[in-house]
Structure 1
Amino acid sequence: MATDIKDTARAVEAAAIMGLLPARPRLLALGEPTHGEDALLDLRNELFRQLVQQEGYRTIAIESDCMTGLLVDDYVTSGTGTLDDVTERGISHGWGTSAANRELVRWMRAYNVRVDDDGRPASERLRFAGFDGPLEITHAASPRQALLALHGYLAARVDADLLPCTADTIDRLLGPDDRWTDPAAMMDPSRSTGRSAEARELRLLADDLVALLDAQTPHLLAATSRDDWDRARLYGRTSTGLLRYHYWMADTSPARMTRLCALRDVMMAHNLLAVAARGPALVHAHNSHLQREKSTMQMWEGPVQWWSAGALVSARLGEGYAFVATALGTIRHQGVNAPAPDTLEGLLYALPKDRCVIDAPRLATALAGTRPEPRVSPWFGYAPLDPAHLAGTDGIVFVKDVPQS
């Protein structure tokens, strides 16, 4: 069996990953089993460079706030802002301080600037996208930024009589932002403003603004750039998604956390489908958001289970979506030592290479009838691969040892 497993391993290169797939996918999803490790992000960066240079990929989408990600996209495409500022403010969850994330943004900007002219043609420029909602584990953002941006886009381009309200009305209904971002609301639904009379009215107005955006599409595309229209659609998705999320934060039923987790991945999926419409992209996020199976998590209210963004997008795109999971041997600085030999990671850890790409379907065949034991992580921040998910995975990137960043 060891020989069979060894035969599935290849060098970690974009060409090896593409060789596992029936066709070039519009979204190539590379998962990670833990966050914040620059060694994994450096590997992502190298694969993205190869995909750009060898396969014509032009976009990378990461698990970061879709709204603040626009700052990074503006920087890499036009040089707006500074590297320090856009990585700090444009990459959420505190990951803008990562040296690997900063290097990704720096390289993308450098790629887009050619010394012999004013830059690459727009069709050849690299693009950056955050595809997460403006959400954190502790709270959700106010819908103010997205709602007012959507209203402003429409107000500048359509007859005022068609607008369902003024910007002042939106501002009045929103009230102070701390009403929306109160961390206590995550644990206590009664602290949420999501089912207030003002929030209910805002949901209707947001829906009307999105409907107006759709109804005026021919005029808007003639009057503005497609990039501006795409951004307005992002504002619309984010406005309605955040208001829906806040509504269910105020829920008191047993399904509350299941619904909130599901709504976050729905927002992710909609953003990924918009990225896919623009051309082939590398997607990078936690394995649990990109897998084709349901995701599970133990919350303070008990276990929750929901369809991941990857499952939702895969159902829509078919072969246009591919998922490659990352598996790890050790993260010793977090107390994750060598895996037991009867686990999936243990079998891969016995391979001679420090890093390799594994043909997951062939591995599943090699392991037929001898399913490995699930690995149990001693650290909450690392999620081992579930051996039962091999059949739904196109490939595995295995990293034997993750050094401290």
Structure 2
Amino acid sequence: MATDIKGTTHPVEASAVLGLLTARPRLLALGEPTHGEDTLLDLRNELFRQLVEQGADQEADQEGERAEERAEERAEGGHQEGYRTIAIESDCLKGLLVDAYVTSGTGTLDEVMEHGFSHGWGASAANRELVRWMRAFNDGRPATDQVRFAGFDGPLEMSESASPRRALLALHGHLSAQVDADLLPCTAEALDRLLGADERWTDPAAMMDPSQSVGKSTEACQLRLLADDLVSLLDTQTPQLLAAAPREDWDRARLYGRTALGLLRYHSAMADTSPARMSRLCALRDSMMADNLLALAARGPAMVHAQNAHLQRAKSSMRMWQGVVEWWSAGALVSARLGEEYAFVATALGTIRHQGVDAPAPDTLEGLLYALPEDRCVVDTARLADAFGDAAPAPRESPWFGYAPFDPAHLAGTDGLVFLKDVPQ
């Protein structure tokens, strides 16, 4: 069995990952089984740099008769050769600050790391290095050849959800500057009155106690209708809006619209008292992620990075205070829409000793990979599944809640696996 498994491994390189796929996907998703480990983010950075630089080299080799044609395609938002965007599990609105910095140098690196990330990701040395490298890569390059950054999570944390204020007012502001005032369903002042104090929306008590949520209040219901009207107006005025301003402004307005509606739906679900409350909240969050990823896919090929459970094709599950909740992940939703243009490569680990995760049992998938001599490798999951046949390895149990082992039952729905033997502190 060990010999068969060894034949399924390759060096950890972008070319090896792409070599596992039947087609080059629009979205190449790399999952991780735990958060907060810079070793995993360093690997992500390395793969993204290789994807970008290999794509740049290929385009340089193809300069000549198709150079102008490719430039026109990119300027029109069409197909891009190579990967030019990285999207991570972070606030999609805060991510706009990071993208502005890496593309045009707006702000400072310190400011971007402090204000451009959610979930505490700004404190990561690996994330800082990613942003620094992207800014250096873009320096002196035309906009069509620059690398881009995106957060694809909603403005959500496990303990609370943001106010829809920023997204709603930004969407209203974009529309009021471009369309006849008579077409607007309300004024910005009316939105502000209905929104009230942001503390009403961000109260962390609402996560555990639905009665503390404002999501089903009269004001919230009115805001949800108005947000829908504003998004509808954006859609119906698309020709005029695209003629009056760059497409990027329209794309951003659509992001504001998706986010406003997503947050209002999420707050409404926070006020739900049914047993399905947490399953609905998890599903709504991943639906917001999926919508953002589909919008990025329309712009061009992108690498995506998040927890495995947000990117896998199988149904996701998690044990919470009221029991196990299940939902379809962003990856499952996107894969259903994009087919082979979505690829998912999971990451599995041997040890995280500083978190109490010691060497895996030898009969688990991680244990079998841990016995190989490589410190890290890319695994061909199709060949691995064939090698196992009906004798699937035992699932691994994690002694630490912050680490989710790879489920061997998911091999068939995974395009590849990156394995790291040990994660140092």
Please classify the TM superposition score into its range, dividing by the shorter chain length.
Answer: over 0.9
- Equivalent position SS for 1:135: coil
- Equivalent position SS for 1:251: coil
Cα deviation, residue 88, structure 1: 1.3
Cα deviation, residue 247, structure 1: 0.5
Equivalent in the alignment of 2:177: 156
Cα deviation, residue 89, structure 1: 0.8
Structure 2 residue 20 is matched with structure 1 residue 20:
yes
Cα deviation, residue 31, structure 1: 0.2
Q: CA RMSD in A?
A: 0.5
Aligned letter for 1:19?
Answer: G
In structure 2, distance between residues paired with 1:16 and 1:257: 38
Cα deviation, residue 133, structure 1: 0.3
In structure 2, distance between residues paired with 1:85 and 1:225: 27
Out of 104, 118, 124, the position equivalent to 2:130 is 104
Equivalent in the alignment of 2:329: 308
In structure 2, distance between residues paired with 1:302 and 1:358: 33
Equivalent in the alignment of 1:52: 52
Out of 266, 270, 279, the position equivalent to 2:300 is 279
Equivalent in the alignment of 2:87: 61
- Equivalent position SS for 1:377: coil
Equivalent in the alignment of 1:70: 96
Equivalent in the alignment of 2:202: 181
Deviates more, 1:280-289 or 1:367-376: 367-376
Structure 2 residue 358 is matched with structure 1 residue 332:
no
Cα deviation, residue 209, structure 1: 0.2
Structure 2 residue 351 is matched with structure 1 residue 351:
no
Equivalent in the alignment of 1:238: 259
- Equivalent position SS for 2:89: strand
Structure 2 residue 233 is matched with structure 1 residue 212:
yes
Equivalent in the alignment of 2:6: 6
Cα distance per residue 1:145-193 (max 9 Å; x no partner) = 0000000000000000000000000000000000000000000000000
Cα distance per residue 1:328-368 (max 9 Å; x no partner) = 00001101000000001001101110010000011001011
- Equivalent position SS for 1:179: helix
Cα deviation, residue 127, structure 1: 0.4
Equivalent in the alignment of 1:116: none
Aligned letter for 1:256?
Answer: R
Cα distance per residue 1:229-279 (max 9 Å; x no partner) = 100000000000000000110000000000000000000000000010110
In structure 1, distance between residues paired with 2:129 and 2:262: 31
Structure 2 residue 348 is matched with structure 1 residue 296:
no
In structure 2, distance between residues paired with 1:307 and 1:249: 18
In structure 2, distance between residues paired with 1:222 and 1:302: 52
In structure 1, distance between residues paired with 2:145 and 2:247: 16
In structure 1, distance between residues paired with 2:272 and 2:110: 39
Out of 111, 128, 139, the position equivalent to 1:85 is 111
- Equivalent position SS for 1:325: strand
Cα deviation, residue 23, structure 1: 1.0
Equivalent in the alignment of 2:43: 43
- Equivalent position SS for 2:186: coil
In structure 2, distance between residues paired with 1:303 and 1:100: 33
Cα deviation, residue 123, structure 1: 1.1
Equivalent in the alignment of 1:125: 146
Cα deviation, residue 122, structure 1: 1.2
Equivalent in the alignment of 1:379: 400
Aligned residues between the structures: 399
| Percentage of pairs with the same residue | 79
- Equivalent position SS for 1:141: coil
Out of 183, 188, 193, the position equivalent to 1:172 is 193
TM-score by length of 1: 0.98
Structure 2 residue 343 is matched with structure 1 residue 322:
yes
In structure 2, distance between residues paired with 1:303 and 1:358: 30
Equivalent in the alignment of 2:77: none
- Equivalent position SS for 1:62: strand
In structure 1, distance between residues paired with 2:165 and 2:193: 11
In structure 1, distance between residues paired with 2:386 and 2:115: 46
TM-score by length of 2: 0.93
- Equivalent position SS for 1:327: strand
Cα distance per residue 1:189-216 (max 9 Å; x no partner) = 0000000000000000000000000000
Cα distance per residue 1:283-309 (max 9 Å; x no partner) = 000000000000000111111000000
Equivalent in the alignment of 2:421: 400
- Equivalent position SS for 2:87: strand
Cα deviation, residue 370, structure 1: 1.1
In structure 2, distance between residues paired with 1:364 and 1:54: 30
